[in-house]
Structure 1
Amino acid sequence: MTENLVSYRFEDGLARIVMLRGDQGNPINGAWNAAMLRALRRAKNDRARVILLSAAGRFFCVGGDLTVLAASERLPDDLDDIADALHRVVSEIQRSDAIVVCSVQGVAAGAGFPLVAAADLVVAARSASFTLGYSKVGLSVDGGTSLLVNTLGLHRVLRLALLNERVTADEAAELGLVAKVAADAELAAVTEELVRTLLAGPARAQAATKALIRQAAEADIEAALRREALALRTQAQSAEASEGTAAFVGKRRPRFGAAVDT
């Protein structure tokens, strides 16, 4: 199965899902969500033991498609639809019996950051970086950002969300998010070695282990995602969100002090 947004290939227990628009940042919108859900469900039907999620091109994923949102005449509803579908993607990854490996190059930003964190094991190129950036455009966090607390810790996530700090691949490894950091030219080889190690292991034991550890750490993932969706819908109706998205499209610095809700 090949689409203009996502490709899927299955062989010998391994499902390869590749986001195809890395040079455009693989922006998350309704079409991206639909393509990703189809690929993940295809992997489930194929009974994949390992799912490898990667991106072709310069970037992994820059998050929500703000050009679409800026042009929307029904922003809260459109954002709600996109967020709801994205949450299904995150939940599919978390609940999958397959071990999900994420291979990251370039930038994982906005919802692309928690998308990486939803995976079970992450391999990152040394030049890769991670950032949230929601407050830059006047929006609250989404995509499972609250679940980053389990890995990175409460105050680290608050700093990332409120100050828009950037985390390098080496820092992400020290924090426990990234399992392996590879030289940029060796990212594919290092990822392939990790995948082959998993495929050589005991499939049922691995699936049971993932389920037990996920249940212990994220007993209420759906509730967390619903809270994020509600907050995002509310914030999307604010003057801050209007100013933030307009500034992004206009390639200027947002003036949030002038954005006053009435």
Structure 2
Amino acid sequence: MSAVYYEQNSGVARITLDAPERGNPLNPTSVAELADAVRRARADDSHVVVLSATGDTFCVGGDLTAFAGADDVEHMIDDLAEALHRVISDLHRIAAVVVSVVQGTTAGAGVPLAAAADLVLASTSARFTLAYTGVGLSPDGGTSLLTASLGLHRTLRLALLNPVVTAEEAHALGLVAEVHPDDELDAAVEATVAGLRRGSRSAQIAAKRLLREAATPGEEAALRRETLSIRALAASPDGREGVAAFLAKRAPGYPSSCA
């Protein structure tokens, strides 16, 4: 069964994370399907790409069950992070305006995945949390690129304290472009798509590229640093303990902690 659904109609590509029973996790299968969907959107010469998810969770982030069961977690994380980072780069570079639609919770790599869009629309029920350091891992998925839009210390707060950020708070931080009541979000998305479709595609893409290149000129190096960091931590005692504790629903006891 596919974890990502793709359709395209009248210049609008719709990419939907479609494993709601598991919270739409990011694992080798779903990331490969996500990459394929973005390639199809490019091949279809889409003007607008809408990235959304089914169910009450946008994305729980990395599939920790898969991490825990991997024979060589370092190798698996390296491959997965690199594949996800190519998706993020492709969303940044595609000649289309990308709109992400967030309802319910998004955590871990789901946050920078949503933020890879040019416009993030959220429902009032949306909640965001990075959660990486809470399981002994460092951020990936382009989290370090958020410093360009949120600022260093705001991003550090999200990464170190792992607060659950409401949609309105995310809007105030600059992560979310618009917040709408849950029952009005779909209509707001369609209005946004229609407004973009009426505009000059060439001007929109030129603006997107100019602003992104100015904001994150070192994107590829930043993404590679994220990969190297999370793969090392995933194989470390703290990373293994954090993931094991999360899956067992207990408090972690990190070997590196002085508490």
- The TM-score normalised by the length of structure 2 is 0.97
Give the match for residue 213 of structure 1: 211
Give the match for residue 171 of structure 1: 169
**CA distance in structure 2 between the partners assigned to 1:95 and 1:194 by the alignment:** 20
Structure 1: segments with no counterpart, 5+ residues: none
Aligned-pair distance for 1:212?
0.7
Amino acid at match of 2:137: L
Give the match for residue 67 of structure 1: 65
Aligned-pair distance for 1:22?
2.6
Give the match for residue 229 of structure 2: 231
Give the match for residue 44 of structure 1: 42
Aligned length: 257
**CA distance in structure 2 between the partners assigned to 1:222 and 1:211 by the alignment:** 15
**CA distance in structure 2 between the partners assigned to 1:13 and 1:218 by the alignment:** 28
Give the match for residue 57 of structure 1: 55
Mean Cα displacement is larger for which, 229-238 or 119-128? 229-238
Alignment identity in percent?
Answer: 52
Q: Once superposed, which parts of structure 1, at least 4 consecutive aligned residues long, lie more than 3 Å away?
A: none
**CA distance in structure 2 between the partners assigned to 1:259 and 1:213 by the alignment:** 40
3-state SS of 1:225 partner = helix
Structure 2: segments with no counterpart, 5+ residues: none
**CA distance in structure 2 between the partners assigned to 1:181 and 1:104 by the alignment:** 10
Aligned-pair distance for 1:114?
0.6
**CA distance in structure 2 between the partners assigned to 1:35 and 1:7 by the alignment:** 8
Give the match for residue 114 of structure 1: 112
- The TM-score normalised by the length of structure 1 is 0.96
Aligned-pair distance for 1:43?
0.4
Aligned-pair distance for 1:23?
3.5
Contact 1:243 1:259 in 2 (8 A): no
**CA distance in structure 2 between the partners assigned to 1:140 and 1:178 by the alignment:** 23
**CA distance in structure 1 between the partners assigned to 2:15 and 2:141 by the alignment:** 19
Amino acid at match of 1:103: V
Aligned-pair distance for 1:249?
1.4
**CA distance in structure 2 between the partners assigned to 1:70 and 1:234 by the alignment:** 14
Aligned-pair distance for 1:127?
1.0
Q: 2:153 aligns with which of 155, 170, 181?
A: 155
Aligned-pair distance for 1:91?
0.5
